[in-house]
Structure 1
Amino acid sequence: MATLQEELEARRKLDTMLADFERQTSTETTNPGEIFRGVINSTPGLREQYERAIKDGHLVGIEAETDPRFNGSYDGDSRKMRLSVGQLNEADPSNDPHDVRDAVNFIRYTAGHEIDHALHREENARLTEHFRTQVAAIAAGPSPHDFTGPVKEFNEGARVSEARAEIAGFNTVAAQLKHDNPKATVAELYEVDGGVSNYMDSDDKTPPHVTVDPGLHIKPDLQLDAAKSLEAMAKTFYDDHKGIPRATSIGHSGRYTVKRPLRRPQIQVALSRRSGSTWPLSALRSRCRQTSRTPAQRSQINPRRRLSGQLHPAPTTLVTKITSCWKRSEIACEVLSKAWASRGTTRANA
């Protein structure tokens, strides 16, 4: 248990990080760092998690996300989090109040997802190191080198990590709603959104009947039961969307990034007309709220999450069969590429 001194020190360090982030990102017209500081300070449960990550040595800084494909990422090697200033600026006080409210909840979701990766940094590092060790051992043996086993094991670990983090993002929004309104209902959780509606359905009745996706277990406090919901979340968030690169990715050096899907069919056309851009929520809200969604519609993209594009593919000569399993991981590409460069023929089948 942390001592009072440790808690105060973590609080001080977080305030310093937030101030540094504000200085790094402020311009003459925008101040995304100030917006993020406001989100953190208005979300007690989220701030507590950030302070815990700092106290345990998993978070040492917050920076602007430099990759336009992503709204948030965490680098386990540098122990730094990166956040999109574009997403943060959507919560600028000068915007429509309803848009600001929704934008703040999307920021909470992203921040909750990423801080979960930070809190599990050591576990993720062990996963990567175990993978490197396995690959090195196979590469040192006789050719051909079959990395199928290590790739599958690594991918399964990444799958669990991403599903767990996605549940954490969901629960960040749910916890804040209950904090603001202890009598809040599942229907109200659907309305505040922030990303939680990706895993919920609403009919067109008055009042609407809202349910969570099959396999997800919502508790009386509106948070998902992490243990009971993990497999269903992994199937929806990771498997159904090919994981990396469309939904999430594990980048170089243990860098985790988030892009979550949306099942609102009306938004697909709007996004296709402005490829890679973020639509103002005010232009979409009336078209989003009244449609019940089906599992077949889950390949859509959230309007607050830019189209992710493609990550760098592995060299085609690296494997005899390139599978979606390891295309999901740039770490796998990096490790296997090094093995290929030094040991010749490799094989990774799924």
Structure 2
Amino acid sequence: MTLRQKSLLLLVVALPGMNVRMCAGDGTGAAGLTRTYLRVSASESVFATVNQADAIASMKVWSEQLGKLRGFQLDAKVAIALSIPQMRQSLKDHMVDLLVLDTPDYLVLSETNLLDAVFAGTERGQLAVYQYLLLTNDSSGAVTLPGLRQKRVVISSRTKSNLGLMWLETLLGDSRLGRAGAFFSSVEINYRSSQCVMPLFFRRIDACVVDSGNWEAMKELNPQLGRLRVVARSEPYLEGVVAMPLQPHPHQDELVASLLNLHKTPAGEQLGIVFRIGPLVRASKAQFESVRVLRNKYRHIVEASSSGLGPALVRLEDAAGKGHP
């Protein structure tokens, strides 16, 4: 995902499309604009391919431009949260108005009863959920999961929580094939789907894990990729949410309406084009159940086996799980 895409995501969800004052301390800004602020906390795990400092700088530029279009002189405070404890404390201290979260982060925070409204993107009228696929370049279709022992695999996930790795580990566990680091000859993590699929296409690796959204998009651009074979596929997972604190916002109803009608604004239309998703809709806890089940299965595997991962994967888990219980 490009810097422009990430910046657009965070800014569009942060900008209210309404002509009301939102928070205490509002006043009149330059040229008669209503001065207001919005405090956004974004989980570090959603920044898989974007420099955080660049993203924050770009967000400030976008906020000034889009805010003026809606009659606001917006003072956007954007914080990158490096851990769940940090986000939890911001919620307890009432120092955040919107949160952009990876699903595993949301699942942990939802247990604190500090979150209320949750929104997710759609695709063709349905929640934008994606499967993870294990691909090979075997034209005969004869390769099975056990046949990939001591082969090279690249894993591409949509976020730093790395659901692709979690799923592959549980897939191996269900087949009693051990941990990924011991089963494969090499395991590489690369968050750019093209760096997973294209090496497989040119036979530089033996298998890759990629999400169905990026996979379908790549096949549209290059139909020849369709010759790659799907060995296994996961349950559909909903990744990425916009959440609001349980503490009532001074203009909660207006903010919710703004998010739900975001697609009717020019900025919302651009968001849909860039991310190929439809309007934001409310999401319930039940719609994250597949991720919850995956996370719990993965935890059991890790707890049952303290070995079996190569050094690179150990470091990845430490980084991706920072702040996760």
Same fold, TM-score > 0.5, yes or no: no
Q: Considering fraction of residues, name the structure with more helix.
A: 1
- Compute the TM-score of the two structures, normalised by the length of structure 1: 0.25
Name the structure, 1 or 2, with higher relative contact order (CA <8 Å, separation 6+): 2
